[in-house]
Amino acid sequence: MSFPATLALEDGRCFHGRGAGARGQASGEVVFNTGLTGYQEIFTDPSYSGQIVVLTYPHIGNYGTNPDDSESAKPYIESLVARELSQVTSNWRSSLSADEFLASRGIPILAEIDTRALVRHIRTQGSLRGVVSSLETDEAKLVAKARATPSMAGLDLASGVSTPESYLWTDGPPKCLPSSLPSSPKQGSFHVVAYDFGIKRNILRQLVDIGARVTVVPCNTSADDVLAIRPDGVFVSNGPGDPEPLTGPASQLRRLVGRVPVFGICLGLQLLGQALGGKTYKLKFGHHGCNHPVLNLNSGKVEITSQNHGFALDPDTLDPASIELTHINLNDRTVEGFRSRKDPLFCVQYHPEAAPGPHDSRYLFEEFRQLMLDAS
């Protein structure tokens, strides 16, 4: 069953279609994701907190959802916008349709609109605040609500999605998936403390795959508390929102640099960049998808990567005497990776755990393992 629904943008443009999922209203920054598959992983990525996600692939939901593919305990998107939402699910693993999955968490869906026109509008204007509603029909009221939605710039969302308490993670990748190593090392060979700013489960699985015993800690955990655990390495996770307000966590990360090997992904790169004196800025419409080309400056190879971020690190604010850029985005030349020239630290802006996405960059987990071996 569907019902009338509307997306209203802060600049006054509105899109009318059919609603699905939960009846209701949701607001957030409207962004688009160019992946052809992996929609359940997108729904449940905490980095999408505060955002309405437009999927550019026109046919969504045909393989349903299942308990194993979620990247967190619940969906974090504010709303979903799609061209066509499949009412038929054809996969032996499916337990709920995408419609049922999001409806069970109170998340509205807007379908049957021209998503190509919407994406072209966002590419021209930049990411816009918006409201999806199946309750209100007055365009002027919806546009006013979109304009009243908090801007993503300056917004700390990571603190709201981080775990409230530390916990131990021991699950590795499913046996049906290839390991990132030729032969899996003994589990527990290393102890890694993972800062949770909105961490994805497959990151934790990949850390276990390299032999790590993983303790996940809240994003506000002090450096002293981390060092008291005596980890072999520290991982800094992805997460939503603007990194700039996270001055407290950045200051704690600064105290860890040089004392323990550190690996960061996505928001983790931005926070480590801030910890080393760098500045971040908001991208026009962000990078969201699993087909972004990144050049590895050391190997000369191009990696096709999975990405989800709306902010980037300004390379001009980094000290070239202490920081080496290792990866750049081939679409817009933004920073995709750096490492310290003197301390055991490296990070990337994209998602090498690839859920969803290609596996080109899983070698980075092995590099983290080697960094810990070298420091032991």
Q: CATH number of the domain that 214 lies in?
A: 3.40.50.880
Same domain, 239 and 362: yes
- According to the model, what pLDDT value does residue 182 have? 53
Q: Is residue 293 in some structural domain?
A: yes
Q: Is 29 a catalytic residue?
A: no
pTM of structure: 0.95
Q: Is residue 153 in some structural domain?
A: no
Same domain, 93 and 171: no
Cα–Cα distance for residue pair 148/293, rounded to 1 Å: 36
Same domain, 175 and 210: yes
Tell me the two tokens of residue 326.
């290792």
The secondary element (H helix, E strand) that includes residue 160 is helix 158-161
- According to the model, what pLDDT value does residue 203 have? 98
- Tell me the residue type at 107: I
Q: Is 351 a catalytic residue?
A: yes
> Do strands 25-33 and 3-9 pair parallel, antiparallel, or not at all (unpaired)?
unpaired
Same domain, 115 and 216: no
Same domain, 27 and 123: yes
Block residue for tokens 């060979």: 189
- According to the model, what pLDDT value does residue 2 have? 79
Residue 179: pLDDT over 70: no
- According to the model, what pLDDT value does residue 169 have? 97
Q: Is residue 238 in some structural domain?
A: yes
- According to the model, what pLDDT value does residue 328 have? 98
Last residue of a domain, one of 123, 148, 173: 148
* DSSP 8-state symbol, 299: T
Give the structural domain span for 167: 158-375
Q: Is residue 324 in some structural domain?
A: yes
- According to the model, what pLDDT value does residue 189 have? 86
At residue 175 the predicted structure's pLDDT band, cuts being 50, 70 and 90, is: low
Average pLDDT of the segment spanning 363-369 = 97
Q: Give the domain CATH number at 96.
A: 3.50.30.20
- According to the model, what pLDDT value does residue 188 have? 74
Q: Is residue 203 in some structural domain?
A: yes
- The domain tally of the chain equals 2
Q: Is 244 a catalytic residue?
A: no
Q: Is residue 141 in some structural domain?
A: yes
Same domain, 111 and 198: no
Residue 126: pLDDT over 80: yes
Residue 187: pLDDT over 80: no
Same domain, 240 and 368: yes
- Tell me the residue type at 369: R
- According to the model, what pLDDT value does residue 181 have? 55
Last residue of a domain, one of 86, 117, 148: 148
Average pLDDT, the chain: 95
Same domain, 124 and 164: no
Considering the candidates 10, 71, 266, 292, report the single residue annotated as catalytic. 266
Same domain, 203 and 345: yes
Average pLDDT of the segment spanning 247-267 = 98
Same domain, 129 and 169: no
Q: Is residue 103 in some structural domain?
A: yes
Residue 300: pLDDT over 60: yes
- According to the model, what pLDDT value does residue 321 have? 96
- According to the model, what pLDDT value does residue 173 have? 87
Q: What are phi and psi of 370, to 5 degrees?
A: -65, -35
Mind listing the pLDDT tens digit for each residue in 162-174?
999 999 999 998 7
- According to the model, what pLDDT value does residue 145 have? 98
Residues above pLDDT 70, as percent of the chain:
96
Same domain, 238 and 104: no
Last residue of a domain, one of 148, 169, 202: 148
Q: Is the peptide bond before 185 cis (omega within 30 degrees of 0)?
A: no
- According to the model, what pLDDT value does residue 180 have? 54
Same domain, 175 and 302: yes
**Strand arrangement of the beta sheet that strand 167-169 belongs to:** 167-169, 212-218, 190-196, 233-236, 262-265, 345-348, 335-340, 323-329, 280-296, 302-313
Cα 134 to the center of its chain, rounded Å: 28
Q: Is residue 120 in some structural domain?
A: yes
Residue 310: pLDDT over 90: yes
* DSSP 8-state symbol, 340: E
